[in-house]
Amino acid sequence: MTANDDKASDIKAGEKGALVSIGAYLLLAAAKIAFGYFSGSKALTADGLNNTTDIIASVAILIGLRISQKPPDRDHPYGHLRAQTISSLVASFIMATVSIQVLIQAVRALFQDAGEAPGMIAGWVSLGSAVCMYAVYRYNRGVAKRINNNALMAAAQDNRSDMLVSIGVAVGVFGSGFGVSWLDPVAAIVVGFMIAKTAWDIFKEASHALSDGFDVGELDSFRQTAASVPGVSRIKDIRARIHGNHVLVDIIVLVDPELSVADSHAIADHIERRMRKRHNVYYAHVHIEPLRPMDMQLTQPQP
């Protein structure tokens, strides 16, 4: 199987995860709004409306995954894989908006007089929803880690946030049933901050990737792998960036100037194979340069 086949298979798996999220949110949103209305639980109804915004976020991620499958063209010689990262950014904005709405409503409810306690069925529906979202979260998280897909990982984190929201709603409903009316808004405030924290984490990771940021420790690991290849005299420069769910690496390698073109090319191929095997990097561009006397002086240990 070629690198392009692997890429297409990974994106298909990511699409399946996004579709699982959309299906779960459609069912849960309908159930929460219906049971929230009949049980008199404003918290459950609000959670159902929250799930409708999650549908939009999941659709955004699905669109990003679909766009990323488009082949390279004249305007996008590297392809469209970064559409995945952009969709993660969109999802973070939607989650941040939801967190603000949850916090505003919760603070208002905290200073309002407590009304009639909602029916306990609302709490059980919330717990059932939490179990469902935990299963979806585990599935999407597993797929996202396997295919190294940031967009699907963002969806998984959104699934986890919704699980926590449902738990918070259940705590509030059961607490109201036992006369602790303030527990509902307090739980909602905590959940609101948790959603905001998740949105910030997704935004920070996506914006870091879009600005070509890369983990320094991982880059050092790449450098050590390339330097360990026989025939490499020195690594002059190495750079890496995230492109969708793939890593692009550019390496400048210094070798013995007496080597033939064929031998130098063999060293470059060896580096590419080792990067693929050890780090799952399928896009490594290796540039070979001759080791000059001044470069040899730079490699000597300083007194």
In this predicted structure, which of 49-58, 137-146, 248-257, 282-291 has the lowest mean pLDDT? 49-58
With cut-offs at 50, 70 and 90, classify the pLDDT of residue 301: very low
- For a pLDDT cut of 90, what percent of the chain falls above it? 21
Between residues 199 and 150, the one the model is more confident about: 199
Q: Are residues 108 and 231 in the same domain?
A: no
Q: Are residues 202 and 227 in the same domain?
A: no
Which of 176, 210, 244 finishes a domain?
210
Question: Which of the residue ranges 11-20, 107-116, 128-137, 293-302 has the most confident prediction, judged by mean pLDDT?
Answer: 128-137
* Total number of domains in the chain: 2
Q: Is 225 helix (H, G, I), strand (E, B) or coil?
A: helix
Q: Are residues 101 and 186 in the same domain?
A: yes
Which of 177, 210, 243 finishes a domain?
210
Average pLDDT, rounded, for the chain: 82
Q: Is 269 helix (H, G, I), strand (E, B) or coil?
A: helix
Which of 193, 210, 227 finishes a domain?
210
Q: Are residues 289 and 178 in the same domain?
A: no
CA distance 62 to 55: 10
Q: Are residues 191 and 278 in the same domain?
A: no
Check whether 298 has a pLDDT greater than 60.
no
CA distance 155 to 61: 8
Q: Are residues 159 and 50 in the same domain?
A: yes
Q: Are residues 61 and 137 in the same domain?
A: yes
Q: Are residues 220 and 203 in the same domain?
A: no
Q: Are residues 204 and 240 in the same domain?
A: no
Between residues 78 and 234, the one the model is more confident about: 234
Q: Are residues 200 and 75 in the same domain?
A: yes
Q: What is the CATH number of the domain that holds 42?
A: 1.20.1510.10
CA distance 180 to 121: 17
Q: Are residues 98 and 172 in the same domain?
A: yes
Which token pair is 45?
Answer: 């109804």
Q: What is the CATH number of the domain that holds 258?
A: 3.30.70.1350
Q: Are residues 132 and 246 in the same domain?
A: no
pTM: 0.71
Query: In terms of DSSP H, where are the helices of the chain?
Result: 3-39, 42-68, 83-110, 121-147, 150-177, 183-210, 216-227, 261-279, 293-299
Containing structural domain, residue 252 = 216-299
